[in-house]
């Protein structure tokens, strides 16, 4: 069954590591839905969170190939954990006017989306949530006219204190 997997690769921070990881996936014919690379509590170690769609076998192959890279110290398909936290972040700019402004603000309130900037024609909001909730927000804001948005892509952490991702 084709489904989304969230894979976290722990890597040594060396030049070109992101290109190495994403290049490997491209080379092996996998599509990356999103990729985030960011430093961790250890400045030499980066975590790359990848969302890749595929069958169990394909994803197993992806993790094995990633594990083979000399600069990766750990690769976890976190989707296999029962309890893990996934978040995505969005900044969204919506067209507003005097008439619908309060309706937009009300919806934002329901989602706990925070306003970042507002003028008489636009409102910019931010939200950190699960991807599904983000998609719902986009869907509900569409009728007002979305000016633009940026999404971070997903990143994740296991809840299990004995296991680090």
Partner 1 sequence: MKGAKILIDGLMKEGVNTIFGYPGGVVIPVFDVLYSTREINFILTRHEQGAAHAADGYARATGKTGVCIVTSGPGATNAITGIATAKLDSIPMVVISGQVASSNIGTDAFQETDMSGIARSICKHNYLVNSVAELPHIIKEAFHIANSGRPGPVSIDLPVDVVNADLNNYQYPETIDLPGYKPVVKGHKKQIKKLAAAIKDAKRPLLYTGGGIISSSAHNNLLQFIDKTNIPVVNTMMGLGSVPYEHPRFVGMPGMHGVAAANYALMECDLMIAIGVRFDDRITGPRHTFAKQATIAHVDIDPAEIGKNVATDIPVVGDAKFVLEQLNEHLDAKEFVDWNSRISELKMEYPLKYDQKNHDKILPQYAIDTINKYIPDNAIVATDVGQHQMWSAQFIKHKHPRSFLSSGGLGTMGFGLPAAMGAAMACPDKMVVNISGDGGIQMNIQELATCAINNIPVKTVVINNSYLGMVRQWQDLFWDGKYSQTCLKQDPNCPQECKGPNGSCPKIYWPNLTKVAEANGVKGYRVEKPEELEVNFKEAFAQPGPVLIEVMVDKLTNVFPMIPAGKKNNEIIFGEER
Q: Which residues bind partner 1 (CB under 8 A)?
A: 11-12, 15-16, 19-20, 23-24, 27, 57, 60-61, 64-65, 67-73
Cβ neighbors of 26 (< 8 A, separation 6 or more) are: 32
CB of 18 to partner 1, least distance (A): 12
> What's the closest the beta carbon of residue 32 comes to partner 1, in angstroms?
16
Q: Tell me the closest approach of the beta carbon of residue 104 to partner 1, in angstroms.
A: 45
- When the beta carbons of 15 and 150 are compared against partner 1, the nearer one is 15
Tell me whether residue 27 or residue 83 sits nearer to partner 1 (CB atom).
Answer: 27
Whose Cβ is closer to partner 1: residue 44's or residue 103's? 44
Nearer to partner 1, 61 or 152 (CB): 61
Shortest Cβ 53–partner 1 spacing (Å): 19
Rounded distance between C-alpha atoms, residue 107 and residue 115, angstroms: 12
């Amino acid at each position: 069954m084709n489904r989304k997997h969230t894979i976290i690769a722990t890597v040594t921070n060396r030049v070109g590591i992101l290109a190495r990881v994403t290049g490997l996936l491209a080379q092996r014919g996998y599509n990356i839905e999103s990729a985030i690379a960011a430093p961790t509590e250890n400045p030499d170690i980066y975590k790359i969170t990848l969302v890749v769609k595929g069958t169990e076998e394909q994803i197993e192959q992806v993790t094995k190939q990633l594990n083979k890279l000399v600069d990766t110290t750990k690769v976890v398909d976190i989707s296999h954990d029962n309890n893990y936290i996934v978040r995505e972040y969005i900044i969204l700019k919506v067209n507003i006017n005097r008439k619908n402004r309060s309706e937009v603000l009300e919806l934002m309130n329901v989602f706990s989306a925070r306003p970042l900037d507002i003028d008489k024609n636009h409102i910019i909001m931010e939200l950190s949530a699960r991807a599904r909730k983000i998609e719902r927000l986009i869907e509900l804001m569409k009728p007002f006219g979305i000016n633009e948005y940026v999404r971070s892509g997903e990143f994740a952490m296991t809840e299990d204190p004995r296991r680090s991702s």
